[in-house]
Structure 1
Amino acid sequence: MSALPNTHEVLLRNLNLVEGRPALLGVSDAGLLPECPVPGLAMTEHAGLWQSLAGDTVWEGCYGYEPEPSQGGSYDTVVVFLPKARAEFELRLALARYLAAPGAVLLVIGEKKEGIAGAIKQFSAVAGDVVKVDSARHCQVWSGRNVDALSRFRLADWLDWSRVDCAGVELSVAGLPGVFSVGRLDDGTRLLLETLAESPLTADRVLDFACGAGVIGAWLHGFRRVSGGSPIRVDGIEVQAQAVFSARQTYLNAGVSGDIFAADGLAAIKESWPAVVSNPPFHSGVKTDTSMTEQFLSQVARHLAPGGELRLVANSFLPYEALIRRYVGPVEKLAQNRRFTVYRAVRKTLG
């Protein structure tokens, strides 16, 4: 069995602090759950982990920040694992205050390098006199009580809308704390959209892999409308719960035709599309991690129709050109600047 994340190991070391039925917010490794003596609620933002939790007959699984109404105020201890995005901590803390019974134990666990010290100021504002109860494995554990319980929690109340204007198309984009590039159009996506305006897709069905808040799909819909083209359907795949929620709201607001799938990659997806676009992630926390994109490139050809086209933007230093050629087919660079490169590839004939 592989080692658990530091924050999970530190919780196991402090199980004496857990009273009654627990809720664990931000679980990143399902291996934690069998080690906990009393089952409860396990919340994760990761679609793959959530799907595995959904089949657990002991623990309740919760995908992101959309609990069942019956779960409010029903947990004796709520553990908040510090999220990577600092802005998300307030959201996760609000969910904890909603799920926890009045006066219940609240525990915050996080790594020092991820800003646990600063987060405790926010924790103190809603949990009374908080106390540091442990420091181990580069983590800290802080304890407080649910002295300011919430009787209502709606994820839609946390939505933040921003305007995006690119290549003659304006749209509104929904965002939530923790979503990539929330509140702005990142430079890589802008370059990709500009090339899509200069060399438009001819396909009427497109998949946006790692779709984030739905910017690309909403833009493609808007571009077809302003250019007088035929309607387009853009489906999206995204692993993070907040991004899935945001993308669906962005699509609804813009009138985009398409589904947003909560999935960890393409393995469970059966459909194929005549075109796939993507601005895939290359970070895991603060570290460069290209494994998700490499897995995507190794699988995407099976989801491209014969002669199907891939458009992908990536940081120029990442070694994707050879991988695209190997797994998809002939590749060209449509645009390149100091930071980003936009690739176009056509699916080769599969043997």
Structure 2
Amino acid sequence: MSSLPNTHEVLLRNSSLLNGRIALLGISDPGLLPLCPSNGLAMTEHAGVFQALAAHTDWQACFGYEPEGLQPASFDTVVVFLPKARAELDLRLALARFLGRQSASLIVIGEKKEGISGGAKQFLAMVPDGLKVDSARHCQVWAGTNTQPKEAFSLADYLAWTPVACAGIEVAVAGLPGVFSEGELDDGTRLLLENLAEKPLTGEKVLDFACGAGVIGVWLQAYRKLAGAEVGVVDGLDVQAQAVACARATYAQAGARGEIYAADGLASLEGRWQAVVTNPPFHSGVKTDTSMTEQFIRQVAHHLVPGGELRLVANTFLPYESLLQRFIGPVQKLAQDNRFTVYRAFQRMPR
């Protein structure tokens, strides 16, 4: 049996703080739930963890920051696990204040290397009586009282819009705290879009894997429309709740065609596409982690029609070329700058 993350272990070490109905915001391992002294709400922004929470029927599972069916002031203890992005902590603390009763216990836990010292300052700004109550396993635990509950919480209040322009096309992109490249077009995606303008995809049914806020899908459809080509459909998939919410808002604003799926990889997705485009993640917290992309490359062949195209942009130092060759087909480097490479591979035709 694998051990729990440090933050979850430290929470159990302080189980005396967990009184009454509990809300856990940002849980990363469902194995924590049966070890808690009571049950309540388990919230995660990770689609794979959310799916695993379904096995714990005595807990209410929540995917991200749209807690449908939840009542304000309904929990006695609210635990906030420090998110990867510090900007997201204010969002998570606001939800905690909404869910917690008047005078409920509010707890923040995070690892030192992921910025709990700075997170504690954000916590104290909202919870003036907060105190550090433990330090163990490279983590800190801060606790205080919900003296200023929020009467309302709406994710829409945190949504921001950014105009993004590339290759003569400008689109409006929704942003939320914690979404990759919020408020700007990252350099890798820019190189990919410029390459798509130079060498357009031929397939009309496209999947954008790790779609983030939906910029590739809306840009591609706008570019095709301007060029007088068939606009087609661009579906999107992402593992993060905020990204899914942003992509759906971005598509709705642009009138773009396509479904946005919440999923951890392609395993649970049905269907085939004529083309797949992606700027996949390679970080897990502060560490380089290519496992999600490597799994994607192994699986994507099952979701491309024979002869279908994968267009992928990645940091040049990442070892994807041999994987693309092995699992999909012959690989071309279509574009490269001092940081990124755009690869193209076509699905092998059946013999």
Q: Do these two structures clear the TM 0.5 threshold for a shared fold by scoring above it?
A: yes
Q: How many Å apart are 1:126 and its aligned residue?
A: 1.8
Deviates more, 1:24-33 or 1:223-232: 223-232
Q: How many Å apart are 1:112 and its aligned residue?
A: 1.1
The question of whether the paired residues in 1 share the 8 Å contact of 2:274 and 2:308 is answered with yes
Deviates more, 1:54-63 or 1:185-194: 54-63
Deviates more, 1:186-195 or 1:125-134: 125-134
Partner of 2:110: 110
The question of whether the paired residues in 1 share the 8 Å contact of 2:208 and 2:236 is answered with yes
Amino acid across the alignment from 2:51: Q
Amino acid across the alignment from 1:108: V
The question of whether the paired residues in 1 share the 8 Å contact of 2:82 and 2:108 is answered with yes
For residues 151-184 of structure 1, give each alpha carbon's deviation from its aligned partner in whole angstroms, at most 9, with x where no partner exists: 1000011001101000010000001000000000
Q: Distance in 1 between matches of 2:31 and 2:339?
A: 38
Partner of 1:207: 207
Q: Distance in 2 between matches of 1:71 and 1:325?
A: 51
3-state SS, counterpart of residue 70 of structure 2: helix
- Superposed, which structure 2 residues align to 1:1-351 within 5 Å? 1-350=1-350
Structure 1 unmatched ranges of 5 or more: none
Q: How many Å apart are 1:56 and its aligned residue?
A: 2.6
The question of whether the paired residues in 2 share the 8 Å contact of 1:220 and 1:232 is answered with no
3-state SS, counterpart of residue 258 of structure 2: coil
Structure 2 unmatched ranges of 5 or more: none
Q: How many Å apart are 1:86 and its aligned residue?
A: 0.5
Q: Distance in 2 between matches of 1:80 and 1:153?
A: 16
Amino acid across the alignment from 1:135: S
3-state SS, counterpart of residue 323 of structure 1: helix
Q: How many Å apart are 1:128 and its aligned residue?
A: 2.3
Q: Distance in 2 between matches of 1:68 and 1:218?
A: 28
The question of whether the paired residues in 1 share the 8 Å contact of 2:114 and 2:285 is answered with no
3-state SS, counterpart of residue 92 of structure 1: helix
The question of whether the paired residues in 2 share the 8 Å contact of 1:46 and 1:241 is answered with yes
Deviates more, 1:119-128 or 1:314-323: 119-128
Q: How many Å apart are 1:299 and its aligned residue?
A: 0.5
Amino acid across the alignment from 1:62: C
The question of whether the paired residues in 1 share the 8 Å contact of 2:221 and 2:231 is answered with yes
Q: Distance in 1 between matches of 2:223 and 2:242?
A: 25
The question of whether the paired residues in 1 share the 8 Å contact of 2:18 and 2:37 is answered with no
Q: 1:151 to 1:69 in 2, by over 3 A?
A: farther
Amino acid across the alignment from 1:204: E
Amino acid across the alignment from 1:166: C
RMSD: 0.9
Please report the TM-score for the alignment, with normalisation by the length of structure 2.
0.98
Q: Distance in 2 between matches of 1:299 and 1:61?
A: 28
Q: How many Å apart are 1:68 and its aligned residue?
A: 2.3
Amino acid across the alignment from 2:280: P
For residues 313-336 of structure 1, give each alpha carbon's deviation from its aligned partner in whole angstroms, at most 9, with x where no partner exists: 000001111100100001100001
The question of whether the paired residues in 2 share the 8 Å contact of 1:277 and 1:312 is answered with yes
Q: Distance in 1 between matches of 2:55 and 2:221?
A: 36
Q: Distance in 2 between matches of 1:125 and 1:85?
A: 17
3-state SS, counterpart of residue 310 of structure 1: strand
Q: How many Å apart are 1:55 and its aligned residue?
A: 4.1
Deviates more, 1:47-56 or 1:159-168: 47-56
Q: Distance in 1 between matches of 2:218 and 2:83?
A: 28
Amino acid across the alignment from 2:180: F
Q: How many Å apart are 1:69 and its aligned residue?
A: 4.2
The question of whether the paired residues in 2 share the 8 Å contact of 1:188 and 1:313 is answered with yes
The question of whether the paired residues in 2 share the 8 Å contact of 1:110 and 1:139 is answered with yes
Q: Distance in 2 between matches of 1:198 and 1:49?
A: 39
The question of whether the paired residues in 1 share the 8 Å contact of 2:114 and 2:286 is answered with no
Q: How many Å apart are 1:349 and its aligned residue?
A: 2.5
Amino acid across the alignment from 1:267: A
Equivalent pairs: percent with the same residue?
A: 67
Q: How many Å apart are 1:97 and its aligned residue?
A: 0.3
Q: How many Å apart are 1:275 and its aligned residue?
A: 0.4
Amino acid across the alignment from 1:193: L
Q: Distance in 1 between matches of 2:119 and 2:210?
A: 29
Shift >3 Å, 4+ stretches: none
